[in-house]
Amino acid sequence: MKILVLLKQTPDTESKIQISADGSKIETAALKYIINPYDEFAIEEALKIKEKAGSGEVVIASFAGDSAKELIVKGLAMGGDRGLLVSADGLDGLDSLSVAKILAAAVKAENPDLVLVGKQAIDDDNMHVGVMLAELLKWPHVNVVTKLTLNGKTAVAEREVEGGQVEVYELELPAVIGAQKALNTPRYASLPGIMKAKKKPLDTKKPSDYGVDAAALKAAPKAVVRGFTPPPEKPAGKVFKGEDVAVMVDKVVKLLREEAKVI
Amino acid sequence: MKVLVFVEQRGGKSKSSALEALSVGARLAGSTADLAAVVVGKGVEGIAGSLKGYGADTVYVVDQAAFDLYNPVAYAAAVEAAIKAHGAKVVVGLAAPMTRDLFPRLAARFDGGILTDVTAVELAGSNLQGVKPMYAGKVLAKVETQNAPVQFVSVRPNTFKAENKGTGNAALSKLDVAAPADSRIKTLEVRKGASERPDLTEAPLIVSGGRAMGSSDNFKILNELADVIHATVGASRAAVDSGYASHDMQVGQTGKTVNPNVYIACGISGSIQHMAGMRTSKVIVAVNTDPEAPIFKVANYGIVADLFQAVPVFTQKFKALLEK
């Protein structure tokens, strides 16, 4: 079985996000990038599937700038077999459908049995690309998956929805699966893994290698970000301390009733 | 502008926030004739009547056994049919699990634009302009669709007002849609969740516990408080990772984004990742023994105290207040 894992580089969750002076963009120079946390669950799941089958190939791929190479290598250090970076200058900020189109072309060329992605990226929180990719390929998808069982050319996937409900699907491969946190616990890269990763193949391709005119996609986006503003400042709250607990609670309950009018 | 609103339902009942999406749709459409809704499922015709007065003249209903349970491929076919029947240029839904799964598939199908989880949206000519929190809510982004024959937008639950203005007949229009015959995905079942409380993402009131809860048994005191004020119980990642609460209760970056009227954080210090999930709560109450805990910076009201002392008092006081 050949599994393609798609990862996105996202700013470390602890990063301070700085908006440029003119409000047009996020200052990226000082940002530290990590593998999108949900994508780590996707990598782990791919490795587990391969280990259980006793054979197969796990390809760690990304559509990103050159800086993502480091993160692909991290995926290889966890146990991936081969890396693939689809890259081109000047394609920052491409909308999700354009990204999905480029990835769909790469997936077609790779022809895997399964594509694993994180359920969403923690930067834009859109939850678009994996699902769009499935539609462009005319493949089934299940997103927000907390349990995946493969059975030859079919799979059973459990998906988390609201109120603790779980939807259970049976689907035929190839398919796109979006990983949710509860799916597994991602492993750390071992030291031998890190040493080996540097020797594993990491190909770099351009969208044009897959017959995609990325410049045309960039010129006619379906969605654009027009600018950023900080969230509105909240006035300082009323914090009580040093009094009897019952007195403090009473004050807060009164404020909820009379000032905030929410209870 | 021809607008279609996807009204999410489960088990024959529309989601409580569905009317919020419909009201957003009514504002964008401008006239009742331009606004339509679509309901997909089995035994869902009755929902059409409940939409009367919210601004839509037409409610397309796809009511067939094949659509009993949500399935992304089947539901995409149903909503696609409604988009075409209405000639919709704008499709509105809730930023809830079903719509967030469905709309990207449809956006790709129509080569369209999509804005997700917006907290504000309006028309700018024929484009949609929205505001959405990004980077864990640390910034708000102005987003806009462009060059899109059909554009999709999902709105954050509990953000927009549902307004019955008494306009729109919500006349039922049945659509006969064949579920795709070659679909390679089947929904086997939907397992009920353990909780009967409203889902966190839609709950108007939430009581959450952090690592300081110390055990899963101790969540009992949060449940008691939640029962009194009809709240849903959440947890921080630290509490979930320690095994005190189940993963589906997690609020924050790798859990759920919530937007309640009141969020009561008990023994939660307020990591950036947790704030990502709850910072748009309208009123935040924090109980923590550490006066320096970051949660107090975002709290409207805070108490520096042990949650095990404070929470039972909250339960008592609310009970007394609500019984009055």
Look at residue B56 in the predicted model and tell me its pLDDT. Answer: 98
- Whether residue A114 contacts residue A49, with contact meaning beta carbons closer than 8 Å, is answered with yes
Q: How confident is the model at residue B193 (pLDDT cuts 50, 70, 90)?
A: confident
Residue from B317, B322, B323 to probe the interface with A (highest A Cβ count within 10 Å): B317
Q: Report the alpha-carbon distance of residue B142 to residue B218 in Å, rounded.
A: 42
For B73, list phi and psi in degrees, rounded to 5: -75, -45
Does residue B196 have a pLDDT over 90?
A: no
Cβ <8 Å between B104 and A230? no
What SS3 state is found at B266?
strand
Condensed to tens digits (0 to 9), the pLDDT of residues B78-133 reads 999 999 999 999 999 999 999 999 999 999 999 999 999 999 999 999 999 999 99
pLDDT-derived band at B70, boundaries 50, 70, 90: very high
CB pairs under 8 A between A and B: 279
Cβ–Cβ under 8 Å, residues B28 and B92: yes
Smallest Cα distance from B168 to chain A, Å: 30
Partner residue opposite B285 with nearest CB, options A140, A163, A252: A252
Res A91: pLDDT: 86
Distances (CA, A) of B272 to B157, B221, B268: 22, 26, 12
Task: Tell me which of A9, A39, A125, A151 to substitute to probe the interface with B (most B C-beta atoms closer than 10 Å).
Answer: A125
pLDDT in tens, A184-196: 999 999 999 999 9
B117 contacts on A by Cβ (under 8 Å): 125-126
Q: Judged by CB atoms within 8 Å, which residues 55-94 of A form the interface with B?
A: none
- Integer distance in angstroms from the first to the last C-alpha of chain B? 48
pLDDT over 70 percentage in chain A: 100
DSSP label at B182?
T
pLDDT band at A89 (very low <50, low <70, confident <90, very high): confident
Q: Which residues of chain A are within 8 Å of residue B191 when distances are taken between CB atoms?
A: 165-168
Query: What tokens appear for A236 in the block?
Result: 């300082």
Determine the Cα angle at A240 with ends B277 and A252, to 5°. 70
Find the mean pLDDT for residues A133-137.
98
Q: For B168-184, what is each residue's pLDDT tens digit?
A: 999 999 999 988 877 89
Residue carrying the six token digits 């009227």: B261
Rounded Cα–Cα distance for residues B33 and A260 (Å): 39
Q: Choose from B10, B67, B105 for mutation: most chain A CBs within 10 A.
A: B105
pLDDT band at A14 (very low <50, low <70, confident <90, very high): confident
The values of phi and psi at residue B17, to 5°, are -85, 0
Query: Are the C-beta atoms of B273 and A125 separated by less than 8 Å?
Result: no
Give the integer Cα–Cα distance in Å for B241 and B211.
Answer: 9
pLDDT digits 0-9 by tens, A137-159: 999 999 999 999 999 999 999 99
Q: How many helices (H) and strands (E) does chain B have?
A: 9, 18
Query: CA B320, CA B324: separation in Å to the nearest integer?
Result: 7
Residues from chain A contacting residue B71 (CB–CB below 8 Å): 169
User: Is the CB of A38 inside 8 Å of chain B's CB atoms?
Assistant: yes
Give the chain A residue whose CA is nearest to the CA of B109: A135
Residues A109-127, mean pLDDT to the nearest whole number = 97
Mean pLDDT over B309-322 rounds to: 96
Q: How far is B70 from chain A (nearest CA, A)?
A: 8
The ipTM (two decimal places) reads 0.95
Classified as helix, coil or strand, B270 is coil
Please state whether the predicted TM-score (pTM) of the whole model is above 0.90.
yes
Name the phi and psi angles at A200, rounded to 5: -75, 150
Residue A201 in this model has a pLDDT that exceeds 90: yes
Q: Is B321 exposed, middle or buried (0-12, 13-18, 19+ CB in 10 A)?
A: middle
Any chain B CB within 8 A of the CB of A263? yes
Average pLDDT rounded to a whole number, residues A231-258: 94
Task: Compute the nearest-CA separation of A199 from chain B (Å).
Answer: 33
- All residues of chain A having their beta carbon less than 8 Å from the beta carbon of residue B286 are 239
What pLDDT is attached to residue B308? 98
- How many angstroms separate the CA atoms of A165 and B187, rounded? 13
Interface touch B147/A220, C-beta < 8 Å: yes
B320 Cα distance to chain centroid: 31
Q: Which domains does chain B have, with CATH numbers?
A: 3-174 (3.40.50.620), 205-323 (3.40.50.1220)
Judge: A239–B148 Cβ closer than 8 Å, yes or no: no
Question: What residues in B contact A132, CB-CB < 8 Å?
Answer: 104-105, 107-108
Across the interface, whether the CB atoms of B305 and A100 are under 8 A apart is answered no
CA B315 – CA B189 distance, rounded (Å): 37
Q: B115, B230, B300, B304: which to substitute to probe chain A, counting the most A Cβ within 10 Å?
A: B300
| Predicted confidence band of residue A88 (pLDDT cuts 50, 70, 90) | confident
Cβ neighbors of B249 (< 8 A, separation 6 or more) are B200, B233, B234, B235, B240, B255
